[in-house]
Structure 1
Amino acid sequence: MKFLVTGGCGYKGHVLVPKLLNRGYEVVVLDTVWFGNFLPPHPGLKVVQGDVRDIDAINLDGIDGIIHLSSIANDPCGDLNPQLTWEVSALATMQLADKARRHGIKRFIYASSGSVYGVKEEPQVTEDLELKPISEYNKTKMVSERVLLSYSDDMSVQIVRPATVCGYSPRMRLDVSVNMLTMQALTNGRITVFGGKQTRPNIHIDDITDVYLHLIDHPEVTGIYNAGFENISILDIANLVAKHIPADIVVSESNDPRSYRVNSDRLLATGFKPRKRVEDAVTEIIQKFKAGELKDEPHFHNLKWMQKTVLPQ
């Protein structure tokens, strides 16, 4: 099989693409490469530096399936330039789905987000709850989901709503909770926690990328699936990090009250089994840092890097 992976040079893409290649698939990566490209050369890999908004330039000849990862990732980045966010994360999705249908492509896997639910009081957030997105990022994900579901009669549409992803990737992100707190401990010996009691769902980067492989193996598993297997408070994450790296934990007040627990029973019922936990992400990041394979690089912070290089003031 041959897959187009949009956003394949991103945080998840750098872990997913090698897994696809190891399976013997051909992979075409489409990415703006705003944050760099660290994918090693491979005879089955073609990296195209391009913009998903330029739909006429996207070549779908010979493509069997699309894994659509590209978007303006996370709330702060999405709010930087709402027009750009809607163009990249919603309009481009609609155009790509339409072009895929016209080319007869039967597989479309979409990376949505667990943040589409907004603030929830329910103890377990399931796929059946009403969506109340509160940011441009959340709203574009919700709209893209609904657009894609309208193509369900023409192709296998598989939508994943991941929890916050954690763990090491060659294109690291140090602006997500587990990774950020671990790096703070490693570089400063001090962890700053805002609030701390908020519970958030997490998923290891190996598990979320394995979810996409699982969906490839099961085209009959269509529709929408939560993917988050460890609901843990921010303070508990800090304590977990401090267990492995001695660090002072400083708790400050927070104006972010979001606290919720994602339920992923629907995905588990399809036969998927997660293999790793948040603690694995922490220890793996520590190992990479101590081995000199991971540093606190500017392009590992999406918001600051976009402000500096993509959308300079």
Structure 2
Amino acid sequence: MRNKTVLVTGATGYKGTVLVPKLLDKGYRVIALDTQWFGNFLPEHDNLSVIKGDVRQTADVDLEGVDSIIHLASIANDPCGDLDPKLTWEVSALATMQLADKAKRQGIKQFIYASSGSVYGVKEEEQVTEDLTLEPISEYNKTKMVAERVLLSYADDMAVQIVRPATVCGLSARMRLDVSVNMLTMQALKNGKITVFGGAQVRPNIHIDDITDLYIYMLENPSKTSGVFNAGFENISIMDIAKMVQEKVECEIEVTPSNDPRCYRINSDKLLATGFIPKKSVAVAIDEIIAAYQQGKLTDEDRYYNLKWMQREVL
């Protein structure tokens, strides 16, 4: 397994910035491809090549010597996806199709894809398993669904491993403060007040260390993890997350109306049955964010909000 070369797209993003150092620590050679719209927080390393490039320019992506691909690159989250639908489809769907086709032509045998747990749309079922229909409601969700379908068509040519992650939480050097747990914790720390829109909406969650550990687990266990897997271990309402934060940071909770219909849970029994064991929780993520903020290692910056930063710096 060691000395393999892994191409990670979206490598300088929120998850990639945590994943790449873990791969390097395990002895992998890593090619990190990213537009670097939000910067580059990766450490220098002899086995790391960082390429500032656009995944849409597939002809420029050199797959020579690459053993496996972990494809994280996309226009992340619903508001950003709706900002420029054409860009979203080009990056999150068309580029994925072109990269998969190139991987097949060059004989790459493993393609791990970061989809989204939100591809199911709004579900009433208590247990949202991989067998349920996909009814995406946003441009972001729709591109993920289409990309999944395209990738599965290559399953006879390479190991196609698709992860439908829950909302990720926890610390990264390229932080995101526009995802629920991180955002509510920062609001409490900085303002002494949390604003909850609605609050009854239930969202699945996964710690960033668990999702990045999962990509490595899939990399090292392609036969056990071929196909589609949900990845989320705590289905919690937004209000309950706010109350979890309030128990650790003195703050008030203000509730305002919401027209956000997104309310979904996911069941990850299929993944757990392969032997993968999550190690961290939402509560741990909150504790880690509080500690980093209090130690001056985490600040509230515009680049940590995808929509705000894209509107200002990208589009």
Normalised-by-shorter TM-score class = over 0.9
Q: State the shift of 1:257 in Å.
A: 3.1
Q: State the shift of 1:124 in Å.
A: 1.1
Partner of 1:93: 96
Does the alignment pair 1:69 with 2:72? yes
Q: Aligned partners of 2:82 and 2:280: how far apart in 1? A: 32
Partner of 1:152: 155
Structure 2: which amino acid aligns with 1:246?
E
Q: Aligned partners of 2:264 and 2:63: how far apart in 1? A: 39
Q: Aligned partners of 1:13 and 1:288: how far apart in 2? A: 20
**Alpha carbons 1:108, 1:158 under 8 Å: kept:** yes
**Alpha carbons 1:124, 1:260 under 8 Å: kept:** no
Which one of the candidate residues 109, 112, 121 is aligned to 1:109?
112
Q: Aligned partners of 2:61 and 2:261: how far apart in 1? A: 41
Partner of 2:234: 230
CA RMSD, 1 decimal: 0.6
Which one of the candidate residues 239, 249, 261 is aligned to 2:243?
239
Q: Aligned partners of 1:19 and 1:169: how far apart in 2? A: 12
Partner of 2:21: 18
**Alpha carbons 2:121, 2:264 under 8 Å: kept:** no
Q: State the shift of 1:195 in Å.
A: 1.0
Q: 1:161-310 to 2 correspondence within 5 Å? A: 161-220=164-223, 221-310=225-314
Q: Aligned partners of 1:53 and 1:33: how far apart in 2? A: 14
Count matched residues: 311
After superposition, the C-alpha distances for 1:60-99 in whole angstroms (9 at most, x for unaligned) are: 0000000000000011100111111110000000000010
Q: State the shift of 1:198 in Å.
A: 1.4
SS of corresponding position for 1:125: coil
After superposition, the C-alpha distances for 1:38-70 in whole angstroms (9 at most, x for unaligned) are: 111011101000000101110000000000000
After superposition, the C-alpha distances for 1:243-292 in whole angstroms (9 at most, x for unaligned) are: 11100111111112332221000000000011011000000001111111
Q: 1:13-92 to 2 correspondence within 5 Å? A: 13-92=16-95
SS of corresponding position for 1:193: strand
**Alpha carbons 2:196, 2:238 under 8 Å: kept:** yes
Length-normalised TM-score, structure 2: 0.98
Length-normalised TM-score, structure 1: 0.98
Q: Aligned partners of 1:252 and 1:197: how far apart in 2? A: 11
Q: Aligned partners of 2:75 and 2:131: how far apart in 1? A: 26
Q: Aligned partners of 2:263 and 2:140: how far apart in 1? A: 18
Q: Aligned partners of 1:98 and 1:257: how far apart in 2? A: 35
Q: Aligned partners of 1:279 and 1:307: how far apart in 2? A: 32
Q: Aligned partners of 1:87 and 1:257: how far apart in 2? A: 26
Q: Aligned partners of 1:251 and 1:98: how far apart in 2? A: 47
Structure 1: which amino acid aligns with 2:58?
I
SS of corresponding position for 1:20: helix
Moved over 3 A (4+): none
Partner of 1:119: 122
Q: Aligned partners of 1:258 and 1:25: how far apart in 2? A: 38
Q: Aligned partners of 1:71 and 1:172: how far apart in 2? A: 16
SS of corresponding position for 2:154: coil
**Alpha carbons 1:168, 1:285 under 8 Å: kept:** yes
**Alpha carbons 2:118, 2:264 under 8 Å: kept:** no
